[in-house]
Structure 1
Amino acid sequence: MSRSLLGRHLRGGLTGVAVAALVLTTAACGGTTRGEDEGSSSGGSAGASADPDAEIPADLAVAFLPKQLNNPYFDVAAAGSERAVGEIDGEFSQVGPSEASASSQVSYINTLTQQGADVILTSANDPNAICSALDQARSGGASVVTFDSDTAPECRDVFINQATADGIAQTQIDLMAEQIGGAGQVAILSATANATNQNAWIELMQEYAASEYPDMEIVTTVYGDDEDEKSFQETQGLLQTYPDLKGIISPTTVGISAAARYLSGSEYKGRVALTGLGTPNQMREFVQDGTVTAFALWNPEDLGYLAAYTGAALAAGQITGAEGETFEAGDLGEYEIGADGVVVLGEPTVFNAENIDDFDF
């Protein structure tokens, strides 16, 4: 499927989901997509001015630093970034830890700073643990773009958010409610305990469920640390601890696929509902065999693609990260920066048996 066609599918995704202000870490960060205006505060470098007509420098060194290497979700995002860097004739590299621990990214950022990276694209394992290292990188001249999971806003130039936190949270709760009739015990299988995006979504899921589905009880949150085997084991533990469990929500691609693999080969298949955030290629077999009815996600390749173009625009001086600035992101078109330097990719979409074969990522 082509990028432009896939983008149209994703941007035409959810219906009936309220899109509210983005909530991340302890600060409220508004984001905009294609001209939508949210909030009034601005990010960016104090006193800096943008030149929208500035040319992107030749041979721009763009480094991609995910939460961890060999994670299918970040592999897809990296492919998007690499494609974007190729379009601007830059130099792409990818480095990262094998485990998604809070401070595991620090040494890689320090090395990239020493090597003189022009742009660092990173998804933070912890909102604060890498701030000092990113400050040094920015002092050395690097532009820093976070995507997927943010740092504290002052630690980067722009954050590329997948979708609004409210939209992501409400979608997952609505999907679960549809499958269990809006009542029963539900558990959450998350990634790491410090992941800013996961924690924001979980808090909003709890609030939304309490408000809209009072008979749905979220009994616990467990952490698979974005490791397949640990997520698999945590799923098994949930089912043993809560024999009346009606469903599991896993807002992480590693977690949902591991949980689906466990359920598909167990007595709980068809009895315990599973939803969350996953890629179509990971989840296709579990949708086809009836383990999973529906789940959601945005296009991670587009997320990485947008992050790279944002970093290039920063490095060129086309934008500074201030609210209201606009820039072109290749095939994705024009984006506008929202409050606190946040750009929103777009709305997620829901995948089910009817549409999952239309996607290939």
Structure 2
Amino acid sequence: MNNKAKARITIAMAAATLLIAGCGISIASSTSTAGSAKQKQYSIAFVPKLVGIPYFSAMNQGGEAAAKRFGVRWIYEGPTTASVSGQAEYVRSLIQQHVLAVGVSANSPTALDPLIQEAVKSHIMFYAADSNVSSPYNQLWVEQARSKALGYDVVDIAAKEMHYSGQLAIISAGPTATNLNTWIMYMKQRLKKYPNIQLLPIQYAGESITGAEQVASRMIAAYPHLKGFIGVATTIPPGEAQAVENAGKEGQIIVTGISDPNSVRSYLNSGVIKKVVLWNPINLGYLTVWGVLQHLEHHPFHKWNNVPGLGKVEYFPSRKMLLLGPPLIIDKANDNLNF
């Protein structure tokens, strides 16, 4: 081969390298840190409660980032409403496609039991993230933050803003969601610390900002001395806040709960909402993929695990649980978080 031919090959290889780099793909990182995942191209599927809301879109973003880093195939699909039967249909379809792992943010702790058993019998890993299932066949649970800490933090914020007295309304999304009901249980437990706060009957609005606004508006009309709202699901506090604005009750009725900065930013800026509580759902999606991959690769979890890109993550063997970390308080000072 003459020198000119060698030069042409060298230039072509350099151009190809630049093209790959321009697409955001790192040749050096193409080998999975967890072993042979890229060669096997593990298929990891996740069915959220519903698609199309910022929270689960952020989880999907984290899942995609982890899939790219660790060389797996990430499948994200689900119903457009928070439907137990709709979620089951997607899980059933994914089992029939013979993915290697399928998981959910459960709309019900028990409704998927037959499908979970079917998955495991078919040698498909089943896992849960964000909202757990109760099945003993579940092989991994990725928890966003300790439920007790979330419930207690939200109530402490509401109590302080209400000056520790008055009527308080809790609006949740769905009556069967494992995580939402667990948080409400701890909220009720924490409210025992504040005897001058009267908890009104729990209301449900579905995973809908508009639904939350409608329910909150009815609560405001029915309880003229209402002093506070807690929203249990990311779509609920913005709906409650809009109802407060519509009623001209800014400064009279406080709003807090569990929500994401993108959903409540305008209300943080206006002052209708002072604080909400959450975690980083992008990191939750990322941790979910990493954790499932460890299980598929037969890598045992340790008490503390060094997760590339996240750092130290704790594992609780009795619950088969990876814990993302402590709750995150979101207020006007850090509402620039993009999720």
Sort the TM-score into its range (normalised by shorter chain): 0.7 to 0.9
Contact 2:34 2:297 in 1 (8 A): no
Task: Give the match for residue 116 of structure 1.
Answer: 98
Q: Secondary structure of the equivalent of 2:158? A: helix
Distance in 2 between the 1:217 and 1:168 partners? Answer: 20
Aligned positions, number: 305
Per-residue CA deviations over 1:239-296 (Å, capped at 9, x if unaligned) read 1111111000002101112212222333112210000011112111101111111111
How high is the TM-score relative to the length of structure 2? 0.86
Shifted more, 176-185 versus 102-111: the winner is 102-111
Residues 1:136 and 2:118 aligned together: yes
TM-score (normalizing by structure 1): 0.81
Aligned to 1:247, the other structure's residue is in SS state strand
Q: Residue 153 and residue 326 in structure 1: after superposition, are their counterparts in 2 closer, same or farther (change >3 A)?
A: farther
Does residue 78 of structure 2 align to residue 100 of structure 1? no
2:198 to 207, 217, 220: 217
**Which amino acid counterpart does residue 125 of structure 1 have in structure 2?**
N
Q: Give unpaired runs (5+ residues) of structure 2.
A: 1-32
Distance, in Å, in 1 between the alignment partners of 2:133 and 2:256 is: 27
Match for residue 346 of structure 1? 325
The one-letter code sitting in structure 1 at the alignment partner of 2:79 is P
Local SS of the residue matching 1:198 = helix
1:11-160 to 2 correspondences below 5 Å: 55-56=36-37, 58=39, 59-160=41-142
Q: Distance in 2 between matches of 1:354 and 1:251?
A: 22
Which residue pairs with 1:8 in the alignment?
none
User: Which residue pairs with 1:39 in the alignment?
Assistant: none
* In 1: Cα distance, 2:304 partner to 2:275 partner: 35
From 212, 215, 230, the counterpart of 1:234: 215
Point out the structure with max Rg over C-alpha. 2
Q: Which amino acid aligns with 1:342?
A: M
Which one of the candidate residues 234, 252, 258 is aligned to 1:277? Answer: 258
Q: Does 1:260 align with 2:238?
A: no
Q: CA deviation at 1:94?
A: 1.4
C-alpha deviation, 1:105, in angstroms: 1.2
State how far apart, in whole Å, the 2-side matches of 1:304 and 1:327 are: 16
Q: Does 1:333 align with 2:315?
A: no
CA RMSD of aligned residues (A): 1.8
CA distance in 2, matches of 1:281, 1:69: 16
SS in 1 for 2:86: coil
305-314 or 54-63: bigger deviation: 54-63
Residues 54 and 318 of structure 1 are in contact (CA less than 8 Å); yes or no, is this contact kept in structure 2? Answer: no
Structure 1 residue runs without a partner (length 5+): 1-51
**Which of the pair has the greater relative contact order for Cα pairs under 8 Å at 6+ separation?**
1
Corresponding residue for residue 355 of structure 1: 334
Identity of aligned residues (%): 26
Pick which of 52-61 and 256-265 moved more: 52-61
- Asked if 1 retains the 8 angstrom alpha-carbon contact of 2:34 and 2:294, the reply is no
Query: Contact 2:113 / 2:135 at 8 angstroms: preserved in 1?
Result: no
